[in-house]
Chains A and B, each alone.
Chain A
């Protein structure tokens, strides 16, 4: 079965850039979405079709996808960005990555 691999955790200082990776074989051939989930809340779509931002998502969120790796980048990370982040793709069914806990300290 197809698996998306994310680092379990990442820590950044406020104002710095956070880059969260999502890896799988030939992932660049698929569309990738990213979701943000804050504690106790439902997930929120932050990036779709690799690099598009839904309305209302700040410009500091961006995405890319090439080769075997997709990346979610948060520029100028803020305390409010502390959350779990999940990548998602389709391979005979929807697949989610295991999630990355982003800590801003």
Chain B
């Protein structure tokens, strides 16, 4: 069965960086894009960007351009999301999600990781 298993909770100071991992299993990792979505406590879902797991090509939401980097290691079927220059407003649960669509003009997030809580506090 398809699973996306994320790394554990992180506590970071303002200005620091965080790198969250997402290990995929149950399917061919390079066949589907991986996206990242975050959710602050009590708030809605916010899309951060996508990564083609085969080529490594990426596309980031403008709000995160220059601060986010999405990478992958195909040999171990793992995607990574690194967010730099952290501020308190970045405190949220971060989800990796698989995109079923094979399209550049629509997305379908069919499997979600369990989420990783990132807390930014001095």
Which residues does A use to contact B, with CB under 8 Å? 30-31, 33, 35, 42-45, 48-49, 54, 86, 88-90, 93-99
Q: List 22 A-B contacts (CB under 8 A).
A: A30-B106, A31-B106, A31-B108, A33-B107, A33-B108, A42-B95, A42-B112, A42-B114, A43-B109, A43-B112, A45-B108, A45-B110, A48-B100, A48-B108, A88-B109, A89-B106, A93-B61, A94-B50, A94-B107, A95-B47, A96-B37, A99-B44
A42→B96 CA distance, assembly (Å): 10
Q: Give chain A nearest CB distance to B105 CB in angstroms.
A: 6
Could you say which interface size class chain B belongs to?
20 to 34
CA distance A45 to B100 in the complex (A): 11
Within 8 Å by CB of B47, from A42, A44, A94, lies: A94
**Minimal Cβ-Cβ distance residue in B for A98:** B44
Query: 7 closest A-B pairs (Cβ-Cβ)?
Result: A94-B47, A42-B112, A31-B106, A96-B45, A48-B108, A99-B44, A90-B106
Please name all residues of chain A whose beta carbon is closer than 8 Å to the beta carbon of B35 when the two chains form the complex.
94
Judge whether A86 and B45 touch: CB under 8 Å: yes
Q: With a CB–CB cut-off of 8 A, which chain B residues contact A95?
A: 47
Cα(A76)–Cα(B20), bound, Å: 40
With A42-B95, A90-B105, A93-B47 known, 6 other A-B pairs at CB within 8 A are: A42-B114, A49-B108, A89-B106, A94-B35, A95-B47, A96-B45
Q: Are B113 and A33 in contact (CB under 8 A)?
A: no
Specify which chain A residues have a CB less than 8 angstroms from the CB of B112 in the assembled complex.
Answer: 42-44
Q: A42-B95, A44-B112 are in contact. Are A90 and B45 (CB under 8 A)?
A: no
Q: Quick check: B45 and A99 within 8 Å, CB to CB?
A: yes
For B37, B59, B105, B106, the residue with the greatest tally of chain A CB atoms inside 10 Å of its CB is B106
Q: Is the CB of B109 within 8 A of A45?
A: yes
The one of B50, B62, B109 that contacts A35, using a Cβ cutoff of 8 Å: B109
CB closest residue in chain A, given B49: A93
